[in-house]
Amino acid sequence: MDYIKKSPWICVYNAGSCNGCDLEVLALLNPKYDIERFGCELKASPRHADILLVTGIGSKQNQKRLKLVYEQMASKKKVIAVGSCAISGGPFREGWVFTEPVDRIIPVDMYVPGCPPRPEAIIDALIKVLEELDGDKKDKPKQTRRRSKKAKK
């Protein structure tokens, strides 16, 4: 039994968004949506967090920091890309600052489309990502196999 399912602590990283998505993530805390009823807590330090919510385009300036934040999180971690910006660059895709979407910087486990996604949609994504945790165990042997193949090469 994975207890992350019961107490997922989240951490938000704004990698160059318009605030829309950040506000909707923060709106999860307010009495209307209150994700604390799932045991979620918004943590300031990435070392405490289990789930990283990334918003924004992941611009050049942010990439190093974003990787650092991801690395600081202790293992069994999940990343959710929130909003069109984080999925594909959204409206800022044509700008010269956008180089690659967030999932090329750090591995992303769940995408929430929308600009911004409604808080309910983010809760939905959270639930889906937690459901996936059980599936992870089955995947594990595959990963080791892949790694050993690489080692042979």
Per DSSP, the three-state class of 36 is helix
CB of residue 134 to ligand SF4, shortest distance in Å = 30
150 phi/psi in degrees, rounded to 5? -60, -40
74 binds another protein, rule: CB under 8 A: yes
CB of residue 55 to ligand SF4, shortest distance in Å = 5
User: Contacts by 44-47 with C-beta closer than 8 Å and gap 24+?
Assistant: 44/11, 45/11, 46/11, 46/13, 46/70, 46/72, 46/73, 47/72, 47/73, 47/74
Q: What is the largest CA-CA distance in the chain?
A: 54
Site for another protein in 3-42 (CB under 8 A): 3-4, 6-7, 13-24, 26-27, 29-34, 36-39, 42
133 binds another protein, rule: CB under 8 A: no
Site for ligand SF4 in 33-62 (CB under 6 A): 55-56
Residues that bind ligand SF4 (CB under 6 A): 17-18, 20-21, 55-56, 83-85, 90-91, 96, 115-116
